[in-house]
Amino acid sequence: MKVGILEDDLTQIEIYKTWLKTEEHEVTGYSYATAFKEAVITQDFDLLIIDMVLPKSNGLQVLEWVRATKGWELPIIFATSIDSEIDIVKTLRAGADDYVVKPAKFSEFIARIESISRRNRYPITQSIGAYEIDKKLRQIKNGKQVIELTQKEFELASYFFQNSGKLLSRKHLLDKLWGLNSQVDTRTLDTHVSKIRRKLNIRVENGLQILPVYGYGYRSEISKSFDLFKN
């Protein structure tokens, strides 16, 4: 697994490298947010580890940038000395997958990474009804036709596909896809849902429905005539 670390303490970076290399992970560390962001754009990391307190920035800002830039599939662990319940909750709600209070313990740290890796082990390509989702290329096909979607439309459609049968509130979808502190309102979400329905031609004949739940949110349903996640 390829791991990117943002941590201003060089000694701590070397500790992480030693720990992760014992598990045969490839590790690259960065002390500044600018260099880290450039690497996130140009490289394909499988996991990010971010500290909260950083020079000229803070981890929460970097987290929100990663989610806005790379979406929600990339696992992120926060490792920081800040153990305030308010900060932990805020960070998890903003998009972190886990939060470790330093000084971290080797066995626990590795176990948390393994747990996140298992939770995020979805196939790169998935087939749902008439649709094929390619996470690496970030595209969705209806049959053989590639559907042109914006990044946010792709993320929203993929999230519906992965959570079929679940009742998803508007607040949950906004927090998950736009971030906890986003000023986006429910009308923006409804507009995006309408667009992906139209662009993907979502209907029962194609194996998928996205149903509104009055006063609450949405639920996606897979037609029983199609296999879920064939690949």
Check residue 191 and give left, alpha or beta (phi > 0: left; psi -120 to 50: alpha).
Answer: alpha
| Digit-coded pLDDT (tens) for 10-49 | 999 999 999 999 888 999 999 999 999 999 999 889 899 9
99, β-bridge pairs? 78
Q: Per the domain annotation, does 230 fall within a domain?
A: no
The enclosing domain of 165 has a CATH number of: 1.10.10.10
What is the C-alpha separation between 179 and 64, in angstroms, rounded?
A: 7
Structure tokens at 2: 């390829």
Are 111 and 147 found together in one domain?
no
Residue-level pLDDT at 155: 87
Are the C-beta atoms of residues 46 and 118 closer than 8 Å to each other? no
Are 103 and 182 found together in one domain?
no
List the chain pLDDT tens, one digit each, 231 residues. Answer: 899 999 999 999 999 999 999 888 999 999 999 999 999 999 889 899 999 989 888 999 999 899 888 877 789 999 999 888 888 888 888 888 889 999 888 998 998 888 877 766 555 677 888 899 887 778 899 988 999 998 889 989 988 988 888 889 998 888 878 765 567 788 999 999 999 999 999 988 888 899 999 889 999 888 765 554 444
The enclosing domain of 114 has a CATH number of: 3.40.50.2300
- Rounded to a whole number of angstroms, the CA Rg of the chain reads 19
Q: What are phi and psi of 135, to 5 degrees?
A: -70, -30
The H-or-E segment that residue 186 falls in is helix 186-200
Are 49 and 155 found together in one domain?
no
Are 42 and 105 found together in one domain?
yes
Residue-level pLDDT at 63: 92
Cβ-proximal residues to 86 (8 Å cutoff; 6+ apart), any chain: none
Are 193 and 94 found together in one domain?
no
Total domains in the fold of the chain: 2
What is the C-alpha separation between 78 and 224, in angstroms, rounded?
A: 40
pTM: 0.58
Q: Which domain holds residue 77?
A: 2-119
DSSP string, 44-81: --SEEEE-SEETTEEHHHHHHHHHHHH-S-S-EEEEES
Residue-level pLDDT at 40: 92
Residue-level pLDDT at 224: 63
Q: Which of residues 97, 119, 141 is at a domain's end?
A: 119
Are 112 and 156 found together in one domain?
no
How far is residue 212 CA from its own chain's centroid?
Answer: 24
Q: Per the domain annotation, does 228 fall within a domain?
A: no
Are 213 and 160 found together in one domain?
yes
Q: Which of residues 119, 148, 182 is at a domain's end?
A: 119
Residue-level pLDDT at 17: 93
Are 113 and 139 found together in one domain?
no
Say which DSSP state 116 is in: H
Are the C-beta atoms of residues 217 and 170 closer than 8 Å to each other? yes
Residue-level pLDDT at 230: 45
